[in-house]
Amino acid sequence: MKRVQDIMAKDVVTANPQMPVAAAAKLMLEEDVGCLVVIEESKIKGIVTDRDLMTCAVKQHDIHECNIVNHMSSPVVTARPDVLLIHLAKVMAAKKIKRVPITNEGELIGIVSFSDIAQDMDTQVAEMWSEWLELITVTKTSAQHRRGRGVKEKASVEHHRGKRFDESIQA
């Protein structure tokens, strides 16, 4: 089973709580991220998302004067890198959170988003289906050969299909 450390992003973009919302928005745009982990004195104080910043603007706050500390979520749910991915997904779903900073002994070492987990699970399911289909094909082919069928039967079916197709063209 996969663990958080297997899929976490290691380059986490951080900000201090006094950063103006406009500067935070610019940083998020430049770094192409959906959130900033808010750090003060080497400790995680909060997390601010692009949605939090939009809320500030919609409330008609001065985005150049308003600081992210006023819009960040706190306290922050964090996870250790050795946690099973499925367990983190359950916690995130239950708490309705989309991003979780990953810490090791209190130090920020990564971040995982719900979409990261979904993408990884999608890949795992696709791999399982591929293996399953391959197994079924091998099993079916082996069973046909054991019963004395196989290639001859396939050719017969293809011949009939072609014959029917030809007949329908002439009709």
pLDDT along the chain (171 residues), means of 10: 93 97 97 96 95 93 95 96 94 95 95 91 77 75 62 47 43 36
Q: How many residues does the chain have?
A: 171
Per-residue tokens: 49: 């998302």
Q: In degrees, to the nearest 5, what angle opens at C-alpha 170 toward C-alphas 166 and 171? A: 115
- With beta carbons less than 8 A apart as the criterion, state whether 27 and 112 touch: no
d(CA 79, CA 31): 23
Q: Which residues pair with 110 in a beta bridge?
A: 102
- With beta carbons less than 8 A apart as the criterion, state whether 47 and 71 touch: no
pLDDT of residue 162: 47
Query: How many domains are there within the chain?
Result: 1
115: nearest Cα among 2, 27, 3, 9? 9
pLDDT of residue 130: 78
- The domain that holds 161 is classified in CATH as 3.10.580.10
Domain range spanning residue 39? 1-171
pLDDT of residue 145: 63
DSSP per position, 69-119: GGT-B-SPP-B-TTSBHHHHHHHHHHHT-SEEEEEETTEEEEEEEHHHHHH
d(CA 93, CA 154): 49
- With beta carbons less than 8 A apart as the criterion, state whether 131 and 137 touch: no
Kindly state the greatest CA–CA separation across the chain. Answer: 84
pTM: 0.72
Distance between alpha carbon 30 and the CA centroid of its chain, in Å?
21
pLDDT of residue 119: 87
pLDDT of residue 131: 77
